[in-house]
Amino acid sequence: MHKICYSLAMTFSKLASFFEKLEATSSRLSLISLLSELFKEIESPEEIEKVCYLVQGRIAPFFEATEIGMSDKTVAQSIARAYDSTKEDILKQYAKVGDMGKVAHALAEEGKKKKEERLSVAEVFIVLKEIAKTNGEGTVEKRLTLLSDLLKKVDSLSAKFLVRIPLGNLRLGIGDPTVLDALATARLGDKTQRHYLEDAYNRTSDLGLIAKTLWGVKNPIKAVEAVEKLEVTVGKPIRSELCERLPSPEKTIEKMGTVDSQFKYDGFRVQIHKDGDTISLFSRNLENMTHMFPEIIEGAKHQIKAKTAILDTEALAYNPDSEEFLPFQETTKRRRKHNIEETMKSLPLRSFVFDILYKNGKSLIGESLEKRLVILSETVENDDTLFVAETKKIDDAKVLSLMLDDAISKGLEGIVVKKLQSPYEAGARNFNWVKLKRNQSGELNDTIDCVILGYVFGKGKRTAFGAGALLVGIYDKKSDTFVTVSKIGTGLSDEEWKSIKERTKGLEVDHKPARVNSLITPSVWVKPEIVIEVLADEITRSPIHTAGMEVPKETKETKGTKGETVSGYALRFPRLVTFRDTDKRAEEATEVKELIEMYKQQGRK
């Protein structure tokens, strides 16, 4: 076992005790307080970096392809070796309780394994890294041996959380804004200072780096200055800028003036990073997708005329026979780890480049869109794979309406309009970018991205499916919570209903998840990770849903403090369109602010 030199190192046992407290609370304020308390006990910049990753259930930032990726069976075998049991018995217990961590905890308690060798967080982290890097012949055996040896050295509570990490199922449910609030509170004394950290996070997408930089300078003012100096770097994805909504071309021109207009393609948001001959591809939820799209890699090598560059693009599946772009449901089939070459032949991708964020050692996110588009046209050569998206400057609502009609006639989602003088605001959603979509009679003029928060057991023939309705919510960015908007019982085929239990496997929890605000209690709670696209007839007010509820409640009482009825916003006649969790994180679901704007656009007040 590797030894760590600094004497004040936090033990993994102490970290596990904090994890236990964090898991037990669903109050965001309590989460911030507990995390802040944890962070205050850490002095080393290297240690705070590791703790930030572990809080996320990881050993590296999301964009690094460093996955431990152990299967249930391999982890079960490791537990069996550590506690003198059998893999079959471990899997049988796992089937009963649904949590491998609880199985390990119970076995360690049975064996009176309450003492440990006082392993530090760093020592455990090193072994987890070793597990992730193990490859080649005998990989499975090496990994299970490393994990079982580690389990023999830790106490029962540590074992509970330790085995969850290789399975990607830590169950803390802590969002990035909550971690940033806690870092600001612990180091700067006040969570209102978070915006300094958030700006840097939007540029670097690395919470560990933010924490390490902040802890690396003793003076808080100079520490903030050091964080502010963190720049855009090739190989670290920039958090995507997102669109707001407006109801019509007329309202768009009225609010934005002259705009740059582009067709809106319904595909994967792909950020392309070029560093010489090294190409990296990242999704909008920061996942490294480089291995999935070999044709984009080849196109980027030859079509990007710069030594280093970062491009913002939308990739779509393409049918070369009919020369048509395929719907998102077809494009999503390209997100896979196996049979990539074969799938590439049947579903080749084309990537439309609509922005450039970095070129030849210089960040461009502070430049105006107008200037970036000129640089983009000089940088990307159109060919078989990459295409610079066509744009038009428009200052007339009638012309904008014609372009919207043209987009819809081509089978596209609509158009995106942007302010010409706007910088690229990483991670922001504001009226610098606005999307316009088709207006469907009797329906909202756009779909809603919701997050599954739980499900209700089915009745009738759905009894056999295990699920008969979904409790879904959206994201409240202001409070970093998930709030309910609907229960969905339509739009899923029998096969999709049957798949709900499989899709939510490992995400079910026996209590309301952290950061979830709901007056409704489903049969089974689910950690907010699965994003679905939902279509509804309209948005209404509801006393039982918490989206936009002015006085959040934890009971079914719906009276406000002054006696008036407390109402949230809800979806009327919702139905599921498709699952979007392959390309969107839960925090990228529709936000409460957006939903309220859509409600107003229906002509309501």
CATH number, domain of 158, equals 1.10.3260.10
pLDDT computed for residue 395 by the predictor = 95
Last residue of a domain, one of 437, 456, 474: 437
237 in a domain, yes or no?
A: no
Round the average pLDDT of the chain to a whole number and report it. 87
| 74-88, 405-419, 564-578: the lowest-pLDDT one | 564-578
- Would you state the structure tokens that stand for residue 349, as one six-digit string? 């991708």
pLDDT computed for residue 208 by the predictor = 96
Q: Are both 316 and 389 inside the same structural domain? A: yes
For residue 168, name the pLDDT band (cuts at 50, 70, 90). Answer: confident
Q: Decide if 435 is catalytic.
A: no
442 in a domain, yes or no?
A: no
Using H for helix, E for strand and C for coil, what is the string for 459-472? CHHHHHCCCCEEEE
CATH of the domain at 556: 2.40.50.140
Q: Are both 46 and 180 inside the same structural domain? A: yes
Q: Are both 359 and 320 inside the same structural domain? A: yes
Quick one: which of 207, 224, 204 has its CA closest to 60?
Answer: 207
The arithmetic mean of pLDDT across residues 544-558, rounded, is: 64
Structural domain total, the chain: 3
Maximum distance among all Cα pairs of the chain, rounded to whole angstroms = 76
Last residue of a domain, one of 201, 230, 259: 230
For 509-564, the DSSP string reads ESSPPTTEE-S---SEEE-TT-EEEEE-SEEEEESS--BT-SS--SSS--B-TTSS
For residue 3, name the pLDDT band (cuts at 50, 70, 90). Answer: very low
Q: Are both 87 and 132 inside the same structural domain? A: yes
Last residue of a domain, one of 410, 437, 464: 437
Domain that holds residue 461: 448-601
pLDDT higher than 80, residue 113: no
Q: Virtual CA dihedral for 540, 524, 67, 426, nearest 10 degrees?
A: 20
Q: What is the pTM of this model?
A: 0.82
Q: Hey, which of 47-56, 186-195, 242-251, 500-509 has the most confident mean pLDDT?
A: 47-56
pLDDT higher than 50, residue 268: yes
d(CA 545, CA 596): 13
443 in a domain, yes or no?
A: no
pLDDT computed for residue 494 by the predictor = 78
Q: Are both 71 and 204 inside the same structural domain? A: yes
pLDDT computed for residue 136 by the predictor = 82
pLDDT computed for residue 2 by the predictor = 44
pLDDT computed for residue 38 by the predictor = 97
17 in a domain, yes or no?
A: yes
pLDDT computed for residue 559 by the predictor = 40
pLDDT tens for each residue of 462-512: 677 778 889 999 999 888 999 999 999 877 777 888 888 888 887 888 889
| 75-79, 424-428, 433-437, 445-449: the lowest-pLDDT one | 445-449
Q: Are both 154 and 80 inside the same structural domain? A: yes
The arithmetic mean of pLDDT across residues 441-448, rounded, is: 64
- Would you state the structure tokens that stand for residue 444, as one six-digit string? 């909202």
CATH of the domain at 348: 3.30.470.30
236 in a domain, yes or no?
A: no
pLDDT-above-70 percentage for the chain: 91
List, in sequence order, the alpha helices (H) in 410-460.
Answer: none
What are the two backbone dihedrals, phi and then psi, of residue 341, each rounded to the nearest 5 degrees? -60, -40
DSSP code, position 166: T
pLDDT computed for residue 416 by the predictor = 96
The arithmetic mean of pLDDT across residues 256-282, rounded, is: 94
Q: Are both 212 and 263 inside the same structural domain? A: no
Pick the catalytic residue: 236, 264, 527, 584? 264
pLDDT computed for residue 66 by the predictor = 77
Q: Are both 159 and 306 inside the same structural domain? A: no
104 in a domain, yes or no?
A: yes
pLDDT higher than 90, residue 110: no
Q: Are both 173 and 288 inside the same structural domain? A: no
Q: Are both 119 and 162 inside the same structural domain? A: yes
Q: Are both 432 and 454 inside the same structural domain? A: no
pLDDT higher than 80, residue 280: yes
pLDDT computed for residue 557 by the predictor = 37
Q: Are both 196 and 288 inside the same structural domain? A: no
The conformational region for residue 557 under phi > 0 = left, psi -120 to 50 = alpha, else beta, is: beta
- List Cα–Cα distances, 43 to 48, 188, 225, in angstroms: 8, 14, 19
Contact 168, 100 (CB under 8 A): no
Quick one: which of 74, 196, 180 has its CA closest to 587?
Answer: 180
Burial class from Cβ neighbours inside 10 Å (0-12, 13-18, 19+) for residue 213 reads buried
